[in-house]
């Protein structure tokens, strides 16, 4: 099976897990505030629906995607367009919003599966191939899903799909530095993450990136690393450790998502 097929299966599973959580909610609970300031559960799902929709457009018609983003930026007065489109989607009735998200993610899967090998797709950050786009969509689905799970007070069991999020977190190291106007480290880091346990109770093993003898190192549970790079937990509330000044600096600014640096979460909120 092609890499993109595996990724699309995992993306569908990640989306399905969130879908199963929100589908039974009544209208009042869709209005539950999430840890993202000003965003309810409806805002979170609306954001995922819109980004899945425009990601599919980027795969089908890159020129129209570029024009759409330009219009959105112009009409919403700049970077606030992300909040504006989430607000617009959140006004829909929950059943209509859920149906829209389901249709948008199906359209995205079909569009990404049809992208020729090697073709780059435009996005809000650097252009990317279909496999990277699928990984990015899985990451964002997982991250915004975390906000919904937190809002409802439901504990989410980590899965092996976290490897996609962790991989993207490692790959975006330099972006995090550049985003803050800092010079990216020249040397590679060693990242060692303990994977979630398997469904049969067996140990998930160790996920690794970078040279074994690297002086700068990051270690910890994969779940904690993913929560850190997605800025869903404060660093002090996680068991992620750094060795070396550059690795330590990275953990303070890490962000796996494109766009402006976020404010993250308040220390102690999820300790």
Domain ranges for the chain: 3-152, 162-253
Give the pLDDT score at 1.
41
In the predicted model, what is the mean pLDDT of residues 143-156?
97
Question: What's the whole-number average pLDDT of the chain?
Answer: 93
Question: For residues 130 and 124, what is the distance between their CA atoms, to the nearest angstrom?
Answer: 15
Q: Per mean pLDDT, which range of 49-63, 193-207, 241-255 is the poorest? A: 193-207
**DSSP per residue, 88-156:** HHHTS-HHHHHHHHHHHHHHHHHHHHTSPTT--B--SSS-B-HHHHHHHHHHHHHHHHHHHHHHHT-PP
Check whether 260 has a pLDDT greater than 80.
Answer: no
C-alpha pair distances (Å), 247 with each of 52, 75, 165, 182, 185: 33, 40, 18, 13, 9
The proportion of the chain whose per-residue pLDDT surpasses 90, expressed as a percent, equals 82
Tokens 């990724």 found at: 7
Question: Do 162-253 and 3-152 fall under one CATH topology?
Answer: no
The fold of 162-253 is Nonspecific Lipid-transfer Protein; Chain A (3.30.1050)
Query: Is residue 200 pLDDT above 60, yes or no?
Result: no
> Model pTM?
0.93
Among 86-95, 112-121, 152-161, 202-211, which stretch is predicted with the lowest mean pLDDT? 202-211
Which CATH architecture group holds 3-152? Answer: Up-down Bundle (1.20)
Q: Which of the pair, 268 or 212, is modelled with greater confidence?
A: 212
pLDDT at 266: 80
User: What was the pLDDT predicted at 269?
Assistant: 80
């Amino acid at each position: 099976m092609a890499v993109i097929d595996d990724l699309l299966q995992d993306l569908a599973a990640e989306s399905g897990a969130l879908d199963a959580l929100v589908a039974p909610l009544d209208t009042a609970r869709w209005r539950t505030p999430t840890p993202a300031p000003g965003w309810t559960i409806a805002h979170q799902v609306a954001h995922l629906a819109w980004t899945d929709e425009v990601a599919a457009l980027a795969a089908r018609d890159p020129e129209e995607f570029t024009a759409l983003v330009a219009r959105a930026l112009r009409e919403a007065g700049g970077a606030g367009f992300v909040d504006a489109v989430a607000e617009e989607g959140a006004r829909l009735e929950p059943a209509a919003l859920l149906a829209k998200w389901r249709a948008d993610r199906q359209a995205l899967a079909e569009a990404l599966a049809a992208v020729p090998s090697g073709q780059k797709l435009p996005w809000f950050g650097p252009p990317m191939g279909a496999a990277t786009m699928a990984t990015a969509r899985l990451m964002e689905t997982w991250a915004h899903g975390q906000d919904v799970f937190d809002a409802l007070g439901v504990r989410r069991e980590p899965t092996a799909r976290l490897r996609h999020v962790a991989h993207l977190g490692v790959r975006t190291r330099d972006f995090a530095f550049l985003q803050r106007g800092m010079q990216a480290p020249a040397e590679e880091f060693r990242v060692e993450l303990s994977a979630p346990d398997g469904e049969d109770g067996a140990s998930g093993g160790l996920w690794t990136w970078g040279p074994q003898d690297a002086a700068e190192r990051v270690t910890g549970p994969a779940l904690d690393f993913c929560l850190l790079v997605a800025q869903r937990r404060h660093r002090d509330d996680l068991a992620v450790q750094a060795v070396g000044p550059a690795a330590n600096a990275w953990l303070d600014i890490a962000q796996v998502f494109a766009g402006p640096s976020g404010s993250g979460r308040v220390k102690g909120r999820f300790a």
